[in-house]
Amino acid sequence: MNAIHNWHTWIGTDEAGKGDYFGPLVVAAVYVDADCRETLADVGIADGKTLSNRRIRDLAELMHTHYERHIVVVERMPKEYNSLYNEFRRRGQNLNHLLASLHAEAIHTLANRVGAKQVLVDRFSKEDLIRQQLRHRTNSGTQSQQRTSAPPQDRFSVRIPVEMKILQVPKAERDIAVAAASIIARDTFLNGMKTLSEEHGICLPRGSYQVVEAGREFVALHGSEALGDVAKLHFRLTDAVRTF
């Protein structure tokens, strides 16, 4: 795969579900070191967007089986996602801020586990939103207190070493760690879609096109108020789904 850096150990992150009306938003982080780098390349790790769903499932299973400690997944199912989105909007922020908070959570969790100090992110915004979410905290005691009593802008932030290098580049899926993260994120998203479809007795389509009919079918079965259990309500097509 094309080299973006010369790091020996690092974390790559990517997301899935951002542009899908139904289903969760998922961010995955994968740690790569000398132990797994060659193996991941040999088994054909590539950008999840270029692989079939079956291939994604097989590769994700392989990584979870052999490198579970190298993986962190942050998943927000639609009900929680809608609540978070509304909270970010109330303080004048948007979807990219929410997405940055999930990347930050995944990076924080995995970096603390494996001790990594380099992170590569597939860029989704011009602003350094992830660094803002990862701003340093002076001590863990203050952080624990802020989780329950702090205003929203603090409650979504996490503590991270000051020396951590975070590189954000477009099309970062050409990197082995980001490609691995894209596969894990996509597999988790597909599993989430399957779960929601089975729970509600309806086949929920992926993407943001040709979903209005399925949305209307869902509303007919479960009511308009339940739509937020399976869909990202801020999408403009929600009005079309609810009006029929």
pLDDT at 126: 80
Q: Give the C-alpha separation, 25 to 17, whole Å.
A: 5
- Percent helix / strand / coil, the chain, rounded to 5: 55, 15, 30
The number of domains in the chain is 1
For 4-37, the pLDDT digits (tens) are: 899 999 999 999 999 999 999 999 999 999 989 9
Least confident of 9-23, 67-81, 84-98, 142-156: 142-156
pLDDT digits (tens, 9 = 90+) for 103-157: 999 999 999 999 999 999 999 888 789 988 887 432 333 343 333 333 344 445 5
CB 169 within 8 A of CB 4: yes
- 204 within domain boundaries: no
Range of the domain at 182: 10-198
Instruction: Quickly state the pLDDT bin for 62 (edges 50, 70, 90).
Output: very high
d(CA 183, CA 163): 28
Q: How large is the average pLDDT for residues 147-175?
A: 66
**Domain CATH code at residue 59:** 3.30.420.10
Specify the pLDDT at position 142: 38
The percent of residues in the chain predicted with pLDDT above 70, rounded, is 88
Angstrom distance (rounded) from CA 182 to CA 186: 6
- Report the C-alpha gap between 11 and 178 in whole angstroms: 8
Give the mean pLDDT of 175-197: 97
**Per-residue pLDDT, 153:** 46
The token pair at 145 is 């207190």
Give the closest residue to 105 by CA, choosing from 76, 79, 78, 128.
76
Please answer whether residues 23 and 98 qualify as being in contact, where contact means their C-beta atoms are separated by less than 8 angstroms. Answer: no
Stretch 178-188: mean pLDDT, rounded? 97
The per-residue pLDDT for 89 is 97
Task: Indicate whether 140 belongs to any domain.
Answer: yes
Question: Is 215 contained in some domain?
Answer: no
Asked if residues 201 and 155 have their Cβ atoms less than 8 Å apart, the reply is: no
pLDDT, residue 138, reads 27
Q: Which residues of 66-105 are buried (b: 16+ CB within 10 A; e: fewer)?
A: ebeebbbbbbbbbeebbebbeebeeeebebbbbbbbbbbb
Contact 56, 46 (CB under 8 A): no
Flag whether 150 is in a domain: yes
Residue at 209 is within a domain: no
- Average pLDDT over the chain reads 88
Beta strands in the chain (DSSP E): 10-16, 25-32, 71-76, 118-122, 165-169
Asked if residue 224 is part of any domain, the answer here is no
**Residue 159: predicted pLDDT:** 56
Give which of 79, 127, 62 is closest to 100, Cα–Cα: 127
Query: Is beta strand 25-32 parallel, antiparallel or unpaired with respect to 71-76?
Result: antiparallel
| Cβ(184)–Cβ(30) below 8 Å | yes
Q: Is residue 51 in a domain?
A: yes
Does residue 205 fall inside a structural domain? no
CA atoms within 13 A on the CB side of 42: 6
Instruction: Write down the pLDDT at residue 161.
Output: 58
